[in-house]
Structure 1
């Protein structure tokens, strides 16, 4: 008889499962506990700045990204997961980034009618590219946007917000991550710079690689972002946009810099920093690291004052940033930074099935009082249960035995400090000793 057993299915290459820390895996990826800690930290920091949470669909009309990102960007040309809806023939795309969808939502719902908004979201994005460390086909992004604010003060606020986030996560600015800053000016200033760039690179066409030759007439600014080592000396000598900025653009940039200087935040002005989307103007920035090989950018953003009108809304300024979550968590792992434990405070050891009803009532009371308790399930002797208790990472074991319950008590044993004496606690006073478990 033929073997009809089918091979086990696996995740799509470049799309990863985010598993609990207790589940072993061959590839070293951030576990779910690290993700939850990051998300909790993000929510805390953004709440202090008055940012509101929102969610947008994972699938959007393909035209949104063509119009919003630009037809000649790498994302639109090569990286989007696009398909035709079998029901109605619509062209749809799995979102490759968050900003365009957020702006679409703001326009569709007239969200700025009552004034500017500070908003944020996080979730999965999709790009069809070669998977590598810190760069996946399904990746997750934190996206923060300030919509309707025109001044450089909000540009600086966003950058200072990222510094606070780094500090809350244990990262040190200037050591673990570094800030790079630039101004892209306004469209007319970029057009003049573009003409100068085209003329310059045409004079050196023989030195351009194939990718740069393709971009020369469609998007020459992106040539400045080339990572080809053979072209770096040519790029360094190219005309810089800063030489084409007018008085207003320079004043905007100078104010951003003055605020960062006053806050003691070090940065480097990088005239070759252009970002990957067509919609940016004025301030652009990136936080970079040397700890992740060639994938050095962990956060980037800037101002995009024309995008809301470009996507059909009333003209309104905007500024924001995106942060690659996988890449940032890989950085935290690489630096071996301390991360709060997700372990329960206590582990319940059950000496016999007879203790289960009273044990569960007590554990529910502890959880209601804010104590995290994991209950042993599946039976087993004391030795096996204590082995599980130790592996859980809990600080305490709560031992429910028949004799203890008959006396109206439960035994408390330290799992981390053998010098602490085991003692019995009254089941009628759970609320009193719950605080001790939380804080001890």
Structure 2
């Protein structure tokens, strides 16, 4: 038997119901806020991610699914959504028709990493991007929408952490100070942090190693390198969050794992999970569009890991399973010439049905109809076909009657409310 690839998972029909509920909830909330859905290819030129995510990130160094196609082009399965959205914005010149683009996406991403709770190698993300607004109110808008989505899913056991990571110039100054401090403790740092000291020092701040975290207690603070513009932007975000009564915690070690962020970085973490507890992460990326060949357009956004979120909310969301109201039982070859008229009437009236094509005995078909707990059964046998009639059986009462096929549509209209109860 051929097994699924490690880190991939089938989403079965009984599981897809909560995915559909999630999508419908998100679609409604974001449509009201004038965010428009966009869908980009799952494969992109590898250069897109090399130029946007950063050469010294874990994604680039260890996690990307990259291959050469038959045209010898370097292709990558997208590991995250923002770079693809920016590429689509530039390629289609969406900025030429509107200064502001509010976009959202929902789809699979791919990273080669150890499968873990709520994270597979093929995983799914919901993301939004507010493009074209420098005002810190845009940062608050996207954070508020993330909170609204979580609240709408009956999930409120979370905490919002925010930080200001400044601009490139400020981070460069801070990075030099951090390296100078950490070099004194180089031998005490964990292996990952020692490697990052050469490649991506800021990532050491969110190390999970206890010894490294103790060393960082007295490390220089990023805030000390921020100038007035960065600080003012951050303070205004905090003011808006207070006004909206959205609780938050300032986490000065929060830097996020992608190089394109500036000013604002934030995460929403679950109180229900242990290590892998971040369910939403995002921030501002004012230089990314220009960096990828477009105009200089400020932007801010976030992404939610769907599998991790569904893992948390699956017990609190009650999804009503699809109900089958009608059953069509057949006996004899002639019946198959008449079933399409019945089906057409049911479809026009939006009545969910099951068509039995098993060729089982009528007794077995009715038994299955009862097991499915349908309300009404339409029975076609050769005798009824000859008389241009159909048997209608109400399963709860056992009452049945014959009507002419020509009168079926009128009959269903009269009893529709009884059928779909």
TM-score, L = length of structure 1: 0.85
- What is the deviation of 1:244? 2.4
Q: Which residue of 2 aligns with 1:79?
A: 63
Unaligned residue ranges in structure 1 (runs of 5+): 1-7, 22-30, 415-420
Q: Which moved more, 1:301-310 or 1:368-377?
A: 368-377
Q: Which residue of 2 aligns with 1:163?
A: 147
Q: State the Cα deviation string for residues 240-269 of structure 1 (Å, max 9, x = none).
A: 222322222222222222222222222222
Q: How does 1:220-235 map to 2 (within 5 A)?
A: 220-235=201-216
- What is the deviation of 1:359? 5.4
Q: How does 1:164-183 map to 2 (within 5 A)?
A: 164-172=148-156, 175=157, 177-183=158-164
- What is the deviation of 1:133? 2.2
Q: Which residue of 2 aligns with 1:39?
A: 23
Corresponding position: 1:340 with 2:333: no
Alpha carbons of structure 1 residues 153 and 386: separation in structure 2 relative to 1, 3 Å: farther
- What is the deviation of 1:358? 5.4
- What is the deviation of 1:147? 1.0
Q: Which residue of 2 aligns with 1:203?
A: 184
Q: Which moved more, 1:352-361 or 1:282-291?
A: 352-361
Q: How many residues align?
A: 409
Corresponding position: 1:239 with 2:220: yes
SS at match of 2:26: helix
- What is the deviation of 1:356? 5.6
Q: 1:377 aligns with which of 347, 357, 360?
A: 357
Q: How does 1:144-293 map to 2 (within 5 A)?
A: 144-172=128-156, 175=157, 177-293=158-274
Distance in 1, Cα, partners of 2:419 & 2:149: 30
- What is the deviation of 1:317? 0.3
Contact 1:350 1:356 in 2 (8 A): no
Q: Which residue of 2 aligns with 1:109?
A: 92
Q: 1:365 aligns with which of 345, 354, 357?
A: 345
Corresponding position: 1:399 with 2:377: yes
Contact 1:139 1:326 in 2 (8 A): yes
Contact 1:189 1:245 in 2 (8 A): yes
- What is the deviation of 1:156? 0.9
SS at match of 1:44: helix
Q: Which residue of 2 aligns with 1:433?
A: 415
Distance in 2, Cα, partners of 1:78 & 1:371: 51
Q: Which residue of 2 aligns with 1:5?
A: none
Alpha carbons of structure 1 residues 279 and 9: separation in structure 2 relative to 1, 3 Å: same
Distance in 2, Cα, partners of 1:382 & 1:287: 56
- What is the deviation of 1:32? 2.0
TM-score, L = length of structure 2: 0.89
Distance in 2, Cα, partners of 1:216 & 1:229: 17
- What is the deviation of 1:112? 0.7
Unaligned residue ranges in structure 2 (runs of 5+): 402-406
SS at match of 2:255: coil
Alpha carbons of structure 1 residues 402 and 61: separation in structure 2 relative to 1, 3 Å: closer
Distance in 2, Cα, partners of 1:288 & 1:219: 23
Distance in 1, Cα, partners of 2:264 & 2:369: 53
SS at match of 2:375: strand
SS at match of 2:281: strand
Q: Which residue of 1 aligns with 2:404?
A: none
